[in-house]
């Protein structure tokens, strides 16, 4: 019964490895890669 998805997502830029939490940015602030370069990273369970 865990219907909530309030946890922020974690994304990683596959181009440079930059991590961003929450909303996917338009482009990577680090290397300027398109948002299509980002992959969602599953968060570890605490
Ligand atoms: Zn990047």
| Ligand 1 centre distance from Cα of residue 16 (Å) | 4
Could you tell me if residue 17 is inside a domain? yes
Could you tell me if residue 46 is inside a domain? no
Could you tell me if residue 21 is inside a domain? yes
Containing domain of residue 14, as a range? Answer: 10-41
Q: Is pTM beyond 0.85 here?
A: no
Q: For residues 10 and 21, give the distance between their C-alpha atoms in angstroms, rounded to a whole number.
A: 4
For residue range 3-30, what is the model confidence (pLDDT) as tens digits? 666 667 899 999 999 999 988 899 999 9
- Give the single-character DSSP code of 22: S
Adjacency order of strands within the sheet including 19-21: 19-21, 10-13, 38-41
| Ligand 1 centre distance from Cα of residue 3 (Å) | 32
| Ligand 1 centre distance from Cα of residue 27 (Å) | 8
pLDDT at 4: 66
pLDDT confidence of 41, banded at 50, 70, 90? Answer: confident
Q: How many structural domains compose the chain?
A: 1
| Ligand 1 centre distance from Cα of residue 20 (Å) | 10
């Amino acid at each position: 019964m865990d219907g909530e998805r309030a946890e922020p997502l974690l994304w990683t830029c596959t181009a440079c490895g930059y991590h961003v939490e929450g909303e996917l940015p338009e482009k990577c602030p680090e290397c300027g890669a398109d948002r299509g370069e980002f992959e969602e990273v599953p968060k570890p369970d605490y």
